[in-house]
Amino acid sequence: MHTETCWFIIVLLLIVFLSGVEQPLRLRNWLTDAQRYAAYTSLHAKSTRGKLPKTATKEVAAFFHTHIRVIQKIWKTAREQIALGLEVDVSNKKTGRCGRKPAEIDVSRITAIPLNRRSTLRSLAKSLDVGISTLHRKFKLGLLRRHSNTLKPHLKESNKRERLQFCISMLDQTSLGDAEPRFIDMQNILHMDEKWYYMTKKARKYYLLPEEDEPERTIQNKNNIGKVMLLTVVGRPRRNAQGIVTFSGKIGVWAFVKEVPAARRSKKRERGTLETKSVIVNREVMR
**H/E element holding 228?**
strand 227-234
Paired strand residues for 274:
261
Q: Which residues of the chain have pLDDT under 50?
A: 21-23
Residue 8 has a pLDDT of 54
Q: What is the pTM of this model?
A: 0.43
Per-residue burial over 48-80, b = 16 or more CB atoms within 10 Å of its CB, e = otherwise: eeeebeeebbeebbeebebeeebbbebbebbbe
Q: Please state whether 238 falls in left (phi above 0), alpha (psi between -120 and 50) or beta.
A: beta
- Taken in order 208, 209, 214, 215, the sign of the CA dihedral is negative
Degrees to nearest 5, angle at CA 281 with 278 and 282: 160
Type of residue numbered 252:
G
Give the Å distances, CA to CA, from 115 to 112, 119, 127, 188, 278.
9, 7, 11, 48, 42
Q: Which among 130, 22, 25, 29 is positioned nearest to 74, based on CA atoms? A: 29
Q: Which of 254, 152, 153, 235 is nearest to 195 (CA)?
A: 254
| 60-to-75, 175, 230 alpha-carbon distances in Å | 11, 84, 80
> What letter does residue 143 receive in the DSSP assignment?
S
Q: What is the end-to-end Cα distance of the chain in Å, rounded? A: 117
What is the rounded CA–CA span in Å between residue 34 and residue 60?
A: 14
pLDDT one-digit tens code per residue, 206-232: 888 899 999 988 888 888 888 888 999
